[in-house]
């Protein structure tokens, strides 16, 4: 299963694009969708939040979740209202 299929399996309904480094990035339209994705990830028992790999400031949220085969980075730029999910194969 690839990153795109994994995103769909998680319940993420938006399409994304592949980056040159092999990540699958899904741009989210607004903070409501960011919140929905956060809830999907947080409630999934097969995914764990990596506190050490996550960063929080007043303007930026980066939450790293670890699944068996994939790493998921949920990003929110609160100042510029830009939100995304990045899925990469686990190393």
pLDDT in tens, 1-10: 899 999 999 9
**5 φ, ψ to 5°?**
-65, -40
- Predicted TM-score of the model (pTM): 0.93
> Residue 91 has what pLDDT?
79
Instruction: Give the chain's end-to-end CA distance (angstroms, integer).
Output: 15
Query: How high is the pLDDT of residue 48?
Result: 97
Q: Which 8-state DSSP code applies to residue 23?
A: -
Domains defined along the chain, listed by start = 3-89 (3.30.160)
Instruction: In whole angstroms, give the CA distance from residue 37 to residue 73.
Output: 11
Calpha distance 88→18 (Å, rounded): 10
Of 74, 3, 88, the residue nearest 37 (C-alpha): 74
**Average pLDDT in the chain:** 95
Q: Which residue has the tokens 């730029």?
A: 77
């Amino acid at each position: 299963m690839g990153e795109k299929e994994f995103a769909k399996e998680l319940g993420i309904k938006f399409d994304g694009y592949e980056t040159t480094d092999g990540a699958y990035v899904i741009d989210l339209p607004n903070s409501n969708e960011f919140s929905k994705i956060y809830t999907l990830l947080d409630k999934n028992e097969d995914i764990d939040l990596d506190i050490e790999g996550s960063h929080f400031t007043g303007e930026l949220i980066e939450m790293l979740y670890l699944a068996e085969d994939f790493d998921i980075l949920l990003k929110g730029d609160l100042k510029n209202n830009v939100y995304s999910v990045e899925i990469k194969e686990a190393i």
